[in-house]
Chains A and B, each alone.
Chain A
Amino acid sequence: GQNIDQPTEMTATEGAIVQINCTYQTSGFNGLFWYQQHAGEAPTFLSYNVLDGLEEKGRFSSFLSRSKGYSYLLLKELQMKDSASYLCAVSDSNYQLIWGAGTKLIIKP
């Protein structure tokens, strides 16, 4: 079967750094996406990795290891507005996205 695992909830302090992990087992791999979803809103795109390594985009970075079936999203200099759910999704052999349940990130002052 296909499976995406990520922690249900994490808590971090404003100004700190947090790493959200995602492991996956899918039939085929055509890239991994991270999305941000604020409560009551639609998901919005953060990053896309298809090759191994780190992709940096401002305060957010995403890492991929295809051999390990592993990715993480790194958020630096946390702000209160970063409180949201972070969704990991893998594009499978049919180019359909398989989604994790999301990690709810709580930022404390």
Chain B
Amino acid sequence: IAGITQAPTSQILAAGRRMTLRCTQDMRHNAMYWYRQDLGLGLRLIHYSNTAGTTGKGEVPDGYSVSRANTDDFPLTLASAVPSQTSVYFCASSDSGSGGGEQFFGPGTRLTVL
């Protein structure tokens, strides 16, 4: 693995289903982030983790949950998907959660909820 990976690349999901988006980084970065990107809007932070074992809520956390059991992995779970969660999801990581740190992005997951 080189950098940050996400899976799946894309997914079509029925409303009400549970879905976990996977994110793994091999850069040993402390901080990780989940964003959603919708047409005409900036990236919006869903959840973040400044270090393994801790997580925090971003701007749009409702309907999503995360865990950070170790440094490398930061999965995002939709407990019961709704059509408004149709979006492109990006996972990112940075060396430090305390400013100045460039964020490195995964390739994204395109999710469609019907």
The answer, yes or no, to whether A31 is at the interface (CB within 8 Å) is yes
Which of A10-18, A63-71, A75-83, A92-100 lines the interface with chain B?
A92-100
Which of B13-21, B62-70, B79-87, B92-100 lines the interface with chain A?
B92-100
Contacts of A87 in B (CB 8 A): 42-43
Are B99 and A91 interface neighbours, CB within 8 A?
Answer: yes
Are B42 and A4 interface neighbours, CB within 8 A?
Answer: yes
Q: Give the interface size class of chain A.
A: 20 to 34
Please provide the chain A residues from 37 to 54 with a CB less than 8 Å away from any CB of chain B in the complex: 41-45, 48, 50
The distance in angstroms between the C-alpha atoms of A101 and B58, with both chains bound, is 17
Contacts of B99 in A (CB 8 A): 30-31, 91, 95
Contacts of A43 in B (CB 8 A): 43, 90, 105
| Cβ-neighbour of B100 out of A42, A50, A101, A102 (below 8 A) | A50
The distance in angstroms between the C-alpha atoms of A60 and B43, with both chains bound, is 23
- Closest B residue, CB atoms, query A30: B99
CB distance from A8 to the nearest CB of B (A): 8
Which of B35, B40, B48, B102 counts the most chain A CB atoms within 10 A?
B102
Contacts of B107 in A (CB 8 A): 41-42
The distance in angstroms between the C-alpha atoms of A17 and B90, with both chains bound, is 31
Contacts of B41 in A (CB 8 A): 101
The answer, yes or no, to whether A72 is at the interface (CB within 8 Å) is no
- Closest B residue, CB atoms, query A47: B102
The answer, yes or no, to whether A86 is at the interface (CB within 8 Å) is no
Task: List residues of A whose CB falls within 8 A of some B CB.
Answer: 4, 30-31, 33, 41-45, 48, 50, 87, 89, 91, 95-102
9 contacts between A and B (CB under 8 A): A31-B99, A42-B106, A89-B42, A89-B43, A91-B99, A95-B97, A96-B58, A97-B45, A99-B43
